Chain A
Amino acid sequence: MALTCVAVFRLRRPHVSLGRAWEGRPILGGMDALSDEELVAQYRRAPTTERARQLLDELFGRHRPQVVSWCYRLTGDRARAPDLAQDVFVKAYASLDGFRSDSKFTTWLYVIARNRCRDEHRARASRVREAPEEAAVDPPSEPNDALAALAARDARTVVRAMMDEVLDETEKRVMTLHYGHDMPLGAITEALGLTNASGAKAYIVSAKRKLNAAMKKWNARS
């Protein structure tokens, strides 16, 4: 709260530029040469001071473009990415005490971004019960009847065994992220950097065909 008071007090005064501007933010004496972890350590030593506010400005400012990029790639939503990134920094600020210096600050920040974007997927999924891309994924001429016939109790074991057997690594990741982690196909395409024309959708179609064929053989055997 003390920092809040300091910050509000600062708002009453005109912005003072300290040194040359880089990407629109001031370069503050020596801070730009500090690592992320050093900035956090210095912030913790005196979290209620004016310098602490500057340290956070430097820390969060240097990662903001990166976090916007992550949020875009994790959701596939260009318009929402800056707002999601803002949420990430709010959470990061509130959780800074939980950052442990034995891991990288960027990894810690990514974890917050990933969790925030996953919440976004879930909220969106609850608003739209049927994902629009889902209807277009399976060609109507090739219904995955063998897969659909699986008893729910067998699904986890059988599907995972089949995936290991017949899918390549990218197909497995796309299927897992889409169905297991609720990621939209557009986001998977961006996040994994899939450069084929149809992106993740093509991998889903291919994976389902392979799974369906494998399931039919499995059903015939059993």
Chain B
Amino acid sequence: MEREILRAALAPGADCLSMEELGRYADGALGPAEQTAAAAHVDGCLNCQAELALMRAVTSTAAPAPRRRWMGLGALPLAAAAAVVLMVGGVLYVRTEKPPELPRATPSGGEVTRSLAVSVRGPLGDQTEAPRRLEWLAVERAVRYRVRLMEVDRREIWSATTSDPGVDLPSTIRASLTAPRALRWDVTAYNASDAVIAESGLQSFRLVVR
């Protein structure tokens, strides 16, 4: 009885945002009027707030190293692969090891995030020399940013924390970055409560021979 009462009380309402709308809202990708209407709804909606908090908590933790090997289409046995390919027409993986050990997330805590995106200025794309600086747009309410420079396999090369929307690369790191080489980087913004309020996602640039 009690469970049914709670289920009825806490079920999403007909006016709740769909998951697709919530995703676009979180990315700031809705039109201006839709974004405003969504914000007004989310402000007073336990369900949408919970979904956004869940999204932020789940997506804010780095993925673990894979325990299954991605082998592309070419390495699959013909009969089995063809059957699946005919259904999905795409890419698959095959099981080679036990399921992955997965990390626990950091506690979610804090307030509901209104925007999950840090817009980066650069470097992006092809670069003819090692960049001197990584830059992004300031995020409202952010008091610090953590920036990471990584190899393409996401191994961290260097990281830093700054209160500015940009940081200089140390000369020792710059000297180690020689073409041709692809690199990735990301930025995470934190508020005064030390909660993550925005992330850039993985950015890429490539050092090319002049």
Given the contacts A1-B89, A179-B9, A11 and B70 also touching, CB distance less than 8 Å: no
Q: Is B100 in contact with A69, judged by CB distance below 8 angstroms? A: yes
Count contacts between A and B, CB distance < 8 Å: 261
| Residues 167-185 of chain B, each 1 if its beta carbon lies under 8 Å from chain A, else 0 | 0000000000000001000
B24 contacts A by Cβ under 8 Å: yes
Say whether, besides A65-B63, A103-B23, A173 and B153 are in contact (CB < 8 Å). Answer: no
Known A57-B73, A110-B55, A191-B105: A159·B6 in contact at CB below 8 Å: yes
Evaluate contact between A33 and B182: CB separation under 8 angstroms: yes
Task: Say which size band chain B's interface belongs to.
Answer: 35 or more
Bound: A32/B206 CA distance, A: 10
Give the chain B neighbours of A72 by CB distance below 8 A.
Answer: 100, 102
Asked if residues A27 and B152 are in contact (CB atoms below 8 Å), the reply is yes
Contact with A along B74-98 (1 / 0, CB 8 A): 1110100110011111111101000
Number of interface residues of A (CB under 8 A): 88
A-side interface mostly:
helix
**A192 at the binding interface (Cβ < 8 Å):** yes
Instruction: Tell me the bound Cα distance from A36 to B204 in angstroms.
Output: 10
Contact with A along B12-36 (1 / 0, CB 8 A): 1000000110111011010000000
Task: Mark B residues whose CB is within 8 Å of A.
Answer: 1-12, 19-20, 22-24, 26-27, 29, 46-47, 49-51, 53-55, 57-59, 61, 63-66, 68-76, 78, 81-82, 85-93, 95, 99-100, 102-111, 116-117, 124, 152-153, 182, 201-206
Sorted nearest first, the 6 A-B pairs with minimum C-beta distance are: A193-B105, A180-B10, A24-B69, A15-B74, A66-B63, A159-B9
11 contacts between A and B (CB under 8 A): A7-B90, A11-B85, A68-B100, A68-B102, A73-B58, A78-B100, A79-B99, A102-B29, A106-B201, A107-B24, A173-B108
